[in-house]
Structure 1
Amino acid sequence: MIIKHILSKNFFIGKTKKKRNYLFKNFLTIIYNNFDIIDVKKLSITLFLYKKYIKKILYDKKKILFISTKNFLREIVYKYARSLNQNFVCNKWIAGILTNSNNYKKILNKSILFKKNINLKFTKKEKNIFLKKEQKIEIIYGGLRGMVNHPYLVIITDIKKDKIAINEAKRLKIKILALINTDNNPLDIDFIIPCNNNSIDCVNNIFKILFSEIC
């Protein structure tokens, strides 16, 4: 069933041979029209195993942090993170979110103060200033509310775009699951999903396979 779904959505079409990272060789089958073709059988087995792994993490009540600062993937990541009641960063990764978590916790506390003070007797101009500050905090840090400890696993849709987040997770020995295209370097990633991660349809359907029957 997973294989049929993968074939129908073209998950298996990677980058051109010229752009290929040599470490990706084992995940490929053939080259078609100069494009690398990802091994569908390996991909389907990978998704099946990771689905069980994620289910076990959530069953054990461990936390997952979803990370995707690509604008066109924001809504997909937001949707699944919220439905699973997990934390997320979907707008901008601020350095130190994982390695210096006290900073974002202080900022979120400021946001609570803004909300409390907004109903006090301030001028309209002052209220607008409070609202703008609160909205900015919510956009960047809102998905981190309730994240008391470091997550057990981070799920990332693009390891190039969110390289800083990966470096922080590695320093803290947090497990990393990432969607990786054939031009990426998979060396430092714990759990690799080889796919066309530049496709909205592909990312959406991979998440659908991973989290169906869970959320």
Structure 2
Amino acid sequence: MKIFHVLKNKIYIGNKIEKRNNLLKNFLVANINKFNIINVKKISIKLFLYKKYLQKIFFEKKKILFISTKNFLREIIYKYAKSLQQYFICTKWIAGTLTNSINYKKMLNKSIYLKKKQKMNFTKKEKNMFLKEELKIETIYGGLRGMVENPDLIIITDIKKDRVAINEAKKLKIKILALLDTDDSPKGIDYFILCNNNSIICVKNILKILFSEIC
């Protein structure tokens, strides 16, 4: 792993000093202009190790669920999940998606039924209503189509915004790989990469490094 890639893409710039989580202090080396500076060497080692881990996941044909409900990250998360033929949620997390999976399966079945109804003998107005409802379901749950069992790993870009998803994964003992900022807590997270997870360039380049030999 070339450390220079990490430096080039400013993955090493954390949050403000006053927001620092002390559980992560061993991963910080300095502060500049009141911002935490992350240890580049430690980031690089983690990226290298997790890259190997993810290669093993794919070799064993295990499944990943990508989760990121931040608007500005939707496109990149969608792109990687589709390219890797994995599951994703990148619009809205509905409580119980993992712990009460029968609900999303019902919704996806309803989506199929609504699509069929659009070809039946209904008025144009009714068909438009069916289409609107179908698209709403697909926007929220479409990335889970075909997921009959819980994923083996979730990859999440913000544990604060998607805290409910984290709690559900922990309850079901699903492994978690998360991108953490310097004010996040690593408690309960199986694998984490410390970085500027509010930067689309940062997230994009971390994913590029992790999956460069897979997709």
Common fold, TM-score beyond 0.5? yes
Q: Calculate the TM-score normalised by the size of structure 1.
A: 0.99
Q: Deviations over 1:149-181 (max 9, x none)?
A: 000000000000000000000000000000000
Aligned equivalent of 1:140: 140
Aligned equivalent of 1:65: 65
SS in 1 for 2:188: coil
SS in 2 for 1:26: helix
Per the TM alignment, residue 115 of structure 1 is displaced from its structure 2 partner at its CA by 1.1
Unaligned runs of 5+ in 2: none
Which amino acid in 2 is paired with 1:167? N
The answer as to 2:212 corresponding to 1:212 is yes
Aligned equivalent of 2:121: 121
Aligned equivalent of 2:15: 15
Unaligned runs of 5+ in 1: none
Q: Deviations over 1:176-197 (max 9, x none)?
A: 0000000111111100100000
Aligned equivalent of 2:199: 199
Aligned equivalent of 1:40: 40
Mapped to 2, the partners of 1:2 and 1:93 lie a distance apart of: 35
Per the TM alignment, residue 2 of structure 1 is displaced from its structure 2 partner at its CA by 2.7
Q: Deviations over 1:46-76 (max 9, x none)?
A: 0000001011011101100000000001101
Per the TM alignment, residue 213 of structure 1 is displaced from its structure 2 partner at its CA by 1.2
Aligned equivalent of 2:165: 165
168-177 or 23-32, which moves further after superposition? 23-32
Per the TM alignment, residue 128 of structure 1 is displaced from its structure 2 partner at its CA by 0.6
Aligned equivalent of 2:89: 89
SS in 2 for 1:146: coil
Q: Calculate the TM-score normalised by the size of structure 2.
A: 0.99
Mapped to 2, the partners of 1:188 and 1:25 lie a distance apart of: 17
SS in 2 for 1:132: helix
Mapped to 1, the partners of 2:2 and 2:116 lie a distance apart of: 49
The answer as to 2:154 corresponding to 1:154 is yes
Aligned equivalent of 2:188: 188
Mapped to 1, the partners of 2:16 and 2:113 lie a distance apart of: 51
Mapped to 2, the partners of 1:2 and 1:101 lie a distance apart of: 41
Per the TM alignment, residue 117 of structure 1 is displaced from its structure 2 partner at its CA by 1.5
Which amino acid in 2 is paired with 1:137? I
SS in 1 for 2:65: strand
Mapped to 1, the partners of 2:32 and 2:155 lie a distance apart of: 30
The answer as to 2:176 corresponding to 1:176 is yes
The answer as to 2:74 corresponding to 1:102 is no
- Divergent runs of 4+, >6 A: none
18-27 or 163-172, which moves further after superposition? 18-27
Mapped to 2, the partners of 1:157 and 1:75 lie a distance apart of: 13
Q: Deviations over 1:110-162 (max 9, x none)?
A: 11111112111110010011000100000000000011100000000000000
Percent of pairs identical after alignment? 69
Mapped to 2, the partners of 1:3 and 1:208 lie a distance apart of: 14
